[in-house]
Amino acid sequence: MAQADISIKPTELQGGHGHPDKWKWYDYFTFNVDHKVIGIQYLVTSFLFYLVGGFMAVLMRTELATPNSDFLSPELYNAFLTNHGTIMIFLWIVPAAIGGFGNFLIPLMIGARDMAFPKLNAIAFWLNPPAGAVLAASFFLGGGAQSGWTSYPPLSEITANLPQTLWCVALIMVGTSSILGSVNFLVTIWKMRVPSMAWDQMPLFCWAMVATSVLALFATPVLAAAMVLLLFDINFGTSFFKPDAGGNVVVYQHLFWFYSHPAVYLMILPIFGIMSEVIPVHARKPIFGYKAIAYSSLTICLVGLFVWVHHMFTSGTAPWMRIFFTISTLIVAVPTGIKIFSWVATLWGGKIRYTTAMLFAVGLLSMFVFGGLSGVTLGAAPFDIHVHDTYYVVGHFHYVLYGGSVFGIYSGIYHWFPKITGRMLNEPLGKVHFVLTFIGTILTFTPMHNLGMQGMPRRVAMYDPQFAHLNQLVTVGAYILAVSVIPFYFNVIWSWMKGKEAGPNPWNAMTMEWTTDSPPIIENWEVLPVLTHGPYAYGMERSDEVGPAGEPLPASRS
Amino acid sequence: MQGAIDSTPVVTGHEVAAHEEHQDLRVLGLITFLASEFLMFAGFFAVFLVFRGSHVQWPPEETEVELLLPAVNTLILVSSSWVINLGTKAIKKNDLAGMRKWFGITAAMGAIFLAGQVYEYMNLGYGLKTNLFSNCFYLTTGFHGAHVFIGLVLILGVLWRSRRANHYTDITHTGPEMAEIYWHFVDVVWIVLFSLIYLLTLI
């Protein structure tokens, strides 16, 4: 391993090789190959897209506050519906959780100076802003794609063809970005750890990113195939998904869900990694069940590739397939439950500091249990057939995506903001943000379950007046969520400029990224660190001699 | 730290990644990427198989495939995988002329394959829009053809760069190696594709 010989060279010095010790502000707007810059670029752009997608959601909820369609035109409502989903998934959660945290943290956590392929990394990021621009352009060239974020044919082939084409192109771009990023993460984690770090001494976030990357690597190209076929159908006169010419619309659903079901694990596995980092630090305890958490990520990755048909129980799926996919779907709850159990066990008897990062992590635990359980009910074919395409489904996935992924991203931001910027976030303001978010999430997404059980269909702008009261409650919740981002964005911008200096390790954490300056210098360390203790060795009498789960560190590992 | 005197060359993360010493990482990255790309073809093949299974006559009468020319083409492409391997074997023995010869032959074989494919397209008598089979046929073979073209560009790029003195030696040969891996990938995809689309019509 040639790179290992180089990286342990102790005489390495900074500043002698032609680039500066610190980036200037404008470096963050250029094609920069530093993984920290790319991580920040991912985070900032995704947080901008979060505002765009959230704005669409607020407009839709305003429309849905009354049973009649009187605020948005039907076309515009459909376009917001489609692009809200697309932006939130592909341009907010995935780039923030995978691109942002993954790029910023992985090299720092494993003691590398950069990712394995820095230029590829920058290319992967720079596919995202144009994808967002293409989606935005589709609004001005025919009113935006209008067939929902799933874009099922034949609907997607008969509505607004040009915007639908642009939508496909945008998805292919973010998909390519995701594949290139995954290649980079896998090779980096595989080959660029400091020589003293064995696989089972790696922080759990890196394990989560391994699972995420494998999943993205195998699932994303299938979505690309679906997009290409749809593009050909719309623009070049083929008939893959045109039943009157022998095509088959269900084939599209298979291809689409083969990616888009694993995509929910793409959005939650990095969050599980963030949870596994935040909880032990703020509970001052070694993580409970290191290996269980690590392997359960890989199990979710594996099983997650065999569950996609549970989105298609009502698409004419054969009964034997329903049985198989019901069982495989329910099995996913097992490794997820192992993780939840391990985090609760880590909290048990810990010396918990209720920082905002910890509040969001604990909030996530409760939210995710609720959302996960409604997912288990949906995974069972008989119940799913009853509530399919109702607001029950909408409530479920928003519980896991907002209460899970978004809470996790917030938690990670509060935890690593000092490392990223060198300054602390304001804690009281953070707590205001947390309370608003928590109340808003419950108020917005819980009544949706009731609406769904009563039969309110999703994806519609008009509904029966009997649902009006619950819908008003949901809309009020959505407004609270909209307001909740104000203290957060204000906090981030203000603290980035004027916040309290953080110092290298404000939380007294044990993982390797806290051993360098905040923000880290350009090559991360002047002299690469040597692993002396596991990432979660809290409260040990001689913390420098124990491994991640508290066991003594073997004399030589490499 | 600025201006510290240090006689040993400083190696940084940025240089490391683009540096010849890190051939193992680049090859690994390419293989990981190709594993991913294979899944895209797998998606197309799955679609093809579903349609094949759900139609009584497949391919339909007016759109039957030509068999002789693609068979010859397959022979050329499959054997070019051996040829390109001879090329990388040569450079590993520091035989630059040998590498250039074998890579040149591979490029010629790839070009013949592409020309054969274009000739086939022009003489089949049906187009992309004719029916579902022709949709699948042109899409899968076309996508594969695009990949052959990319592989051809990679090989020509290696040949172009090999003009520089000592650019490829028995120690630094990541470029030829990666071109070879990509070419094998194109080949493997073609074998699956040929079996599915051409050979299965015989049954």
Query: How much is the pLDDT for A17?
Result: 47
Nearest partner of A445 among A469, A411, A481, A418, judged by Cα: A481
The SS3 of residue A457 is strand
CA dist A206 and A199 (Å) reads: 10
For residue A352 the two structure tokens come to 């918990």
- The residues, ordered by sequence, that sit 6+ positions from A397 with a Cβ below 8 Å of its Cβ are A264, A371
Q: How many contacts, defined by CB atoms under 8 Å, are there between A and B?
A: 158
Query: How much is the pLDDT for B82?
Result: 95
Q: Do B16 and A238 touch (CB under 8 A)?
A: no
Q: What are phi and psi of A548, to 5 degrees?
A: -60, -40
Q: Do A254 and B46 touch (CB under 8 A)?
A: yes
Q: Which residues of A touch B147 (CB under 8 A)?
A: none
Q: Do A17 and B54 touch (CB under 8 A)?
A: no
What does each C-alpha distance from B50 to A313, A556, B61, B138 come to in angstroms?
19, 54, 19, 17
What does each C-alpha distance from A343 to A125, A206, A274, B131 come to in angstroms?
32, 17, 12, 56
Q: Which residues of B touch A229 (CB under 8 A)?
A: 44, 47, 139
- The residues, ordered by sequence, that sit 6+ positions from A25 with a Cβ below 8 Å of its Cβ are none
DSSP letter at B173?
Answer: -
SS3 content of chain B, % helix, strand, coil (to 5): 75, 0, 25
Q: pLDDT per residue over B122-161, tens digit each?
A: 998 898 988 999 999 999 999 999 999 999 999 999 999 9
Q: Do B47 and A255 touch (CB under 8 A)?
A: yes
pTM of the complete model: 0.90
> Which residue in B22, B46, B135 is closest to A3 by CB distance?
B22
First to last CA, chain A: 12
For residue A510 the two structure tokens come to 């044990």
Q: pLDDT per residue over B42-92, tens digit each?
A: 999 999 999 998 888 888 888 888 889 999 999 999 999 999 999 999 999
Please give the residue of chain A at the shortest CA–CA distance from B21.
A2
CA dist A95 and A173 (Å) reads: 12
CA dist A431 and A429 (Å) reads: 5
> Which residue in B11, B55, B136 is closest to A6 by CB distance?
B11
> Which residue in A180, A182, A526 is closest to B1 by CB distance?
A526
Q: Which residues of B touch A524 (CB under 8 A)?
A: 13
Which amino acid is it at B109? M
- The residues, ordered by sequence, that sit 6+ positions from B134 with a Cβ below 8 Å of its Cβ are B63, B126, B127, B128
What does each C-alpha distance from A181 to A175, A198, A202, A209, A438 come to in angstroms?
10, 23, 20, 11, 32
Q: Do A246 and B26 touch (CB under 8 A)?
A: no
CA dist A330 and A533 (Å) reads: 37
SS (H, E, C) A388-428: CCEHHHHHHHHHHHHHHHHHHHHHHHHHHHHHHHCECCCHH
What is the Rg, in whole angstroms, of the alpha carbon atoms belonging to chain A?
A: 23
Query: How much is the pLDDT for A553?
Result: 53
Query: How much is the pLDDT for B18?
Result: 40
Q: Which residues pair with A524 in a beta bridge?
A: A521
| Residues A67/A464, Cβ–Cβ less than 8 Å | yes
For residue B73 the two structure tokens come to 């083409």
Q: Do A225 and B40 touch (CB under 8 A)?
A: yes
- The residues, ordered by sequence, that sit 6+ positions from A402 with a Cβ below 8 Å of its Cβ are A367, A441, A444, A445, A481
Query: Looking at the predicted structure, is the pLDDT value of residue B24 above 80?
Result: no
For residue A194 the two structure tokens come to 């400091």
Shortest Cα–Cα distance, B58 to chain A (Å) = 12
Query: How much is the pLDDT for A20?
Result: 64
Query: How much is the pLDDT for A13?
Result: 44
Q: pLDDT per residue over B97-106, tens digit each?
A: 999 999 999 9
C-alpha torsion sign, points A348, A352, A356, A357: negative
Query: How much is the pLDDT for A433?
Result: 97
The SS3 of residue A277 is helix
Shortest Cα–Cα distance, A252 to chain B (Å) = 9
For residue A35 the two structure tokens come to 């993984």
DSSP states along A484-523: HHHHHHHHHHHHHHHPPB--S-TT---SGGGGS-SSPBTT
Nearest partner of A277 among A477, A523, A146, A97, judged by Cα: A97
> Which residue in A2, A17, A179 is closest to B10 by CB distance?
A17
CA dist B70 and B79 (Å) reads: 14
What is the Rg, in whole angstroms, of the alpha carbon atoms belonging to chain B?
A: 21
Q: Which residues of B touch A117 (CB under 8 A)?
A: 17, 25-26, 29
Please give the residue of chain A at the shortest CA–CA distance from B60.
A246
- Complex ipTM more than 0.85, yes or no: yes
Along the 558 residues of chain A, how does pLDDT read in single tens digits?
333 344 444 444 444 445 566 788 888 888 999 999 999 999 999 999 999 999 999 999 999 999 988 899 999 999 999 999 999 999 999 999 999 999 999 999 999 999 999 999 999 999 999 999 999 999 999 889 999 999 999 999 988 889 999 999 999 999 999 999 999 999 999 999 998 899 989 999 999 999 999 999 999 999 999 999 999 999 999 999 999 988 999 999 999 999 999 999 999 999 999 999 999 999 999 999 999 999 999 999 999 999 999 999 999 889 999 999 999 999 999 999 999 999 999 999 899 999 999 999 999 999 999 999 999 999 999 999 999 999 999 999 999 999 999 999 999 999 999 999 999 999 999 999 999 999 999 999 999 999 999 999 999 999 999 999 999 999 999 999 999 999 999 999 999 999 999 989 999 999 999 999 888 988 888 888 888 888 888 876 444 544 555 555 544 443
The SS3 of residue A546 is strand
| Residues A491/A414, Cβ–Cβ less than 8 Å | no
> Which residue in A183, A238, A248 is closest to B29 by CB distance?
A183
For residue A38 the two structure tokens come to 């790319």
Shortest Cα–Cα distance, B101 to chain A (Å) = 31
